[in-house]
């Protein structure tokens, strides 16, 4: 079944590239309405949009899905539930196609919810306590975005339609845009919803290569790209998104410097780059953000597949400190990891260079005189990106630990994605209807990117040589993503579990469980002439009012 699925995906990918070439050559957009159901006077139609943006993104997703399935043939060869895994991956890809091709918000919700449900099932695939906990965090966090999208669909009743392409600017739709922004932040794991992304690494590595490169994480960026005309009209969209994305970028980069789990480092790298895309949207450059989304998907999928090969060869050990000396024994993986990390850093003429260098130069020109704090945080995050990429390469390629020579890496998908990681940026730039040309930047703006890369290389090299710090607070802060992980996994579930328990005990099962201190402070003294029955009724009513008041105050404070 794996062989048939891989061949089918290859054929579909080939036809998608042909359709992409035709659409971009004709420079046209098609809106096709499919009459799915028609009886009496009721007609249920689903619109399908075919334009250069959707076709380029769909071709990228299908290319990565084909490479992932090719890699899964080797990585999961001994898995007893291989057929179930293949069906889940196909459902995941199909949900992404719904999200990309449907401009109708209700039909788009099918893809949005499909991504959330299938990602939950894939994260808990191994059925151990770690994966079950990670799946619950993933599901509950994405439920917030689902609710926001449902409320935005309800608010769009005022428009009389649910088409993304025909949204008008009015006061009600400003609330719709706010809800869509929150939904995109949850799906793309922006602060304070970032903790589920590294936890989702409990899924099989082929799933991580698909989820964290071009599908689930980038779905929020793609949604905001589609709704960008509405977002741009919102007064607070740009400052809020700029601050949130910059903090996420810095937090993810700093946490990656303190992490030793190979898959979590790449996941935090994805979080950092998704924050770069959000930041690019906040400065008014949606085309460059989409450009970086495509190029990032190519080299990040390559990095995940190389990491999966390393994990497979090292008997499923993910500790970065136990790997090394792969240059002689695994030359293909060594070359691919080096190319992927160079593309991530924005090295010249790699896929990431065409988008990331343009983002750095544009940010330097636009933000240097407007917001110094944001500019400093952006520079620090970019330098740390190069630093943790250098640290990753040094540990994998030059560490003294010897790598085992047994095991054969899956080279077909690595070769395909390596070629795309080198040439994908230039090809994508040519495919754009209006090529992204660089304006006339100053010399300082042109020198910013090389200076950042050089600083990151030096910092990453010294981080592997200098002794480790003994500051436990700083280590815990970076390892737990600025304490977002314990807040999301311990504090919030505890609060949400305690309040329903209080409501059940105090309103349904009587008043006697209220602490005596609370009763002494809040109860009303009854008359000595009052009968015991009336006293019990008054106390019960007071306990109900007390519990309802506590729950109402907490709910209003959260809202």
CA 243 to CA 367: how far, in whole Å?
13
The residues that bridge with 42 in the sheet, in sequence order, are: 39
Instruction: For residue range 330-341, list pLDDT tens digits in order.
Output: 778 888 888 888
pLDDT at 191: 82
CA distance 431 to 26: 12
Instruction: pLDDT band for 400, please (50, 70, 90 cuts).
Output: low
Lowest mean pLDDT among 22-36, 77-91, 453-467: 453-467
Range 300-311 average pLDDT: 85
Task: Give the count of beta carbons closer than 10 Å to the beta carbon of residue 209.
Answer: 31
Write down the pLDDT at residue 559. Answer: 46
* Average pLDDT of the segment spanning 51-80: 84
CA 10 to chain centre: 26
Question: Mean pLDDT of all residues in the chain?
Answer: 76
User: What per-residue confidence (pLDDT) applies to 375?
Assistant: 84
H/E stretch holding 506 reads none
Structure-model confidence comparison of residues 108 and 506, the more confident one = 108
Looking at residue 533, its pLDDT comes to 38
pLDDT at 404 over 80: no
The reported pLDDT for the residue numbered 214 is 65
Distance set, CA 321 to CA 262, 412, 464, 496, 526 (Å):
9, 27, 11, 39, 70
**pLDDT at residue 542 tops 60:** no
Check if the beta carbon of residue 309 is closer than 8 Å to that of residue 409.
yes
Please give the share of the chain, as a percent, with pLDDT higher than 70. Answer: 74
Question: What band does 524 get if pLDDT is binned at 50, 70 and 90?
Answer: very low
Cα(157)–Cα(504) distance, integer angstroms? 36
The SS3 assignment for 507 reads helix
Q: Which two tokens stand for residue 473?
A: 């607070």
Structure tokens at 513: 């469980």
Q: Tokens for 58, please give them.
A: 């769909």
Q: Is residue 151 within 8 Å of 179, Cβ to Cβ?
A: yes
The pLDDT of residue 142 = 82
Handedness of CA 64, 69, 75, 81 (dihedral sign): positive
Residue 154 pLDDT greater than 70, yes or no: yes
Q: Per-residue pLDDT averaged across 13-32, rounded? A: 81
> Looking at 114-128, 146-160, 392-406, which range is the least confident one?
392-406
Bridge-based pairing state of the strands 30-39 and 42-50: antiparallel
* SS3 label, residue 241: helix
CA dihedral of residues 218, 220, 222, 226 (deg, nearest 10): 180
Tell me the C-alpha distance between 287 and 378, whole Å.
Answer: 20
pLDDT band at 538 (very low <50, low <70, confident <90, very high): very low
The 10s digit of each residue's pLDDT in 112-135 is 888 888 888 888 888 788 788 778
Q: Sign (positive/negative) of CA torsion 458, 464, 466, 468?
A: positive
> Residue 131: left (phi > 0), alpha (psi -120 to 50), or beta?
alpha
Confidence (pLDDT) at 525 = 44
User: Residue 433 pLDDT > 70, yes or no?
Assistant: no
Local structure of residue 201 (DSSP, 8 states)? G
184 or 400: which leads in pLDDT? 184
Per-residue pLDDT for 306 more than 70? yes
Residue 248 pLDDT greater than 80, yes or no: yes
pLDDT of 556: 45
Query: Residue 443 corresponds to which tokens in the numbers above?
Result: 């010399």
pLDDT at 25 over 70: yes
Least confident window among 12-26, 339-353, 424-438: 424-438
User: Does residue 98 register a pLDDT over 70?
Assistant: yes
Q: What per-residue confidence (pLDDT) applies to 320? A: 78
Preceding peptide of 302 cis, ω within 30°: no
User: In this predicted structure, which of 133-147, 158-172, 267-281, 517-531 has the lowest mean pLDDT?
Assistant: 517-531
pLDDT 10s digits, 270-283: 888 889 999 998 88
Per-residue pLDDT averaged across 86-105, rounded?
A: 85
Q: What is the pLDDT of residue 440?
A: 62
Of 108-117, 300-309, 311-320, the least confident: 311-320
The pLDDT-based confidence of 372 (bands split at 50, 70, 90) is confident
Greater pLDDT, 532 or 205 = 205
**Residue whose pair of structure tokens reads 């630990």 in the numeric block:** 401
Which residues, other chains included, contact 318 with Cβ-Cβ below 8 Å and sequence gap of 6+? 261, 262, 263, 311
Q: How far apart are CA 113 and CA 145, in angstroms?
A: 9
Residue 527's pLDDT is 41
Give the predicted TM-score (pTM) of the model. 0.79
Q: What is the pLDDT of residue 472?
A: 53
Q: Is the pLDDT of residue 406 over 50?
A: no
Q: Range with the lowest mean pLDDT among 52-66, 315-329, 409-423?
A: 315-329
The set of residues, in sequence order, having a beta carbon less than 8 Å from that of 161 and lying 6+ positions away, is: none
At 556, list the tokens. Answer: 């209003």
Q: How far apart are CA 76 and CA 85, in angstroms?
A: 9
């Amino acid at each position: 079944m794996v062989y048939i699925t891989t061949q089918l995906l290859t054929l579909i990918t080939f036809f998608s590239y042909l359709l992409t070439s035709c659409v971009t050559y004709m420079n046209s957009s098609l809106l096709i309405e499919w009459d799915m159901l028609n009886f009496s006077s009721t007609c249920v139609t689903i619109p399908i949009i075919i334009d250069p943006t959707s076709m380029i993104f769909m071709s990228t997703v299908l290319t990565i899905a084909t490479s992932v399935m090719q890699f899964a043939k080797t990585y999961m060869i001994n898995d007893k539930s291989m057929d179930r895994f293949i069906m889940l991956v196909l459902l995941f890809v199909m949900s992404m196609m719904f999200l990309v091709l449907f401009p109708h918000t209700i039909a788009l919700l099918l893809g949005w919810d499909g991504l959330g449900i299938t990602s939950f099932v894939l994260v808990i695939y191994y059925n151990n306590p770690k994966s079950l906990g990670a799946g619950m965090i993933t599901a509950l966090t994405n439920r917030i975005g689902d609710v926001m999208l449902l409320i935005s669909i309800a608010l769009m009743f005022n428009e009389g339609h649910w088409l993304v392409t025909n949204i008008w600017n009015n006061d009600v739709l400003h609330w719709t845009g706010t809800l869509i922004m929150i939904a995109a932040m949850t799906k793309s794991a922006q602060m304070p919803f970032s903790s589920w992304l590294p936890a989702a690494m409990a899924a099989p590595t082929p799933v991580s290569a698909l989820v964290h490169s071009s599908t689930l994480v980038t779905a929020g960026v793609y949604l905001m790209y589609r709704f960008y005309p509405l977002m741009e009209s919102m007064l607070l969209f740009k400052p809020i998104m700029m601050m949130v994305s910059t903090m996420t970028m810095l937090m993810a980069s700093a946490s990656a410097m303190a992490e030793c789990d190979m898959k979590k480092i790449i996941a935090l790298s994805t979080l950092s780059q998704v924050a770069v895309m959000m930041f690019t949207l906040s400065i008014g450059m949606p085309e460059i953000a989409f450009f970086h989304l495509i190029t990032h998907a190519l080299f990040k999928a390559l990095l995940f597949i190389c990491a999966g090969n390393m994990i497979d060869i090292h008997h499923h050990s993910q500790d970065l400190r136990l790997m090394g000396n792969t240059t002689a024994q695994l030359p293909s993986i060594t070359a691919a990891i080096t190319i992927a990390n160079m593309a991530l850093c924005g090295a010249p003429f790699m896929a990431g260079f065409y988008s990331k260098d343009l983002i750095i130069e544009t940010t330097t020109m636009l933000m240097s005189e407007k917001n110094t704090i944001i500019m400093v945080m952006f520079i620090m995050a970019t330098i740390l990106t190069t630093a943790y990429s250098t640290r990753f390469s040094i540990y994998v390629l030059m560490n003294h630990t010897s790598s085992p020579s047994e095991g054969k890496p899956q080279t077909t998908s690595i070769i395909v994605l390596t070629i795309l990681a080198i040439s994908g940026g230039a090809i994508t730039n040519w495919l754009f209807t209006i090529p992204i040309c660089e304006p006339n930047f100053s010399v300082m703006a042109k020198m910013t990117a090389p200076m950042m890369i050089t600083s990151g290389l030096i910092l990453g090299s010294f981080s592997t040589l200098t002794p480790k710090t003994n500051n436990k607070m700083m280590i815990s802060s970076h390892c737990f993503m600025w304490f977002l992980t314990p807040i999301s996994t311990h504090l919030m579930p505890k609060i949400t579990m305690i309040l329903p328990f209080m409501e059940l005990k105090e309103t349904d099962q009587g008043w006697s469980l209220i602490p005596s201190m609370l009763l002494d402070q809040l109860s009303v003294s009854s008359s000595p002439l009052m009968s015991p029955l009336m006293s019990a009724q008054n106390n019960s009513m007071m306990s109900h009012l007390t519990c309802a008041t506590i729950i109402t105050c907490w709910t209003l404070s959260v809202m």
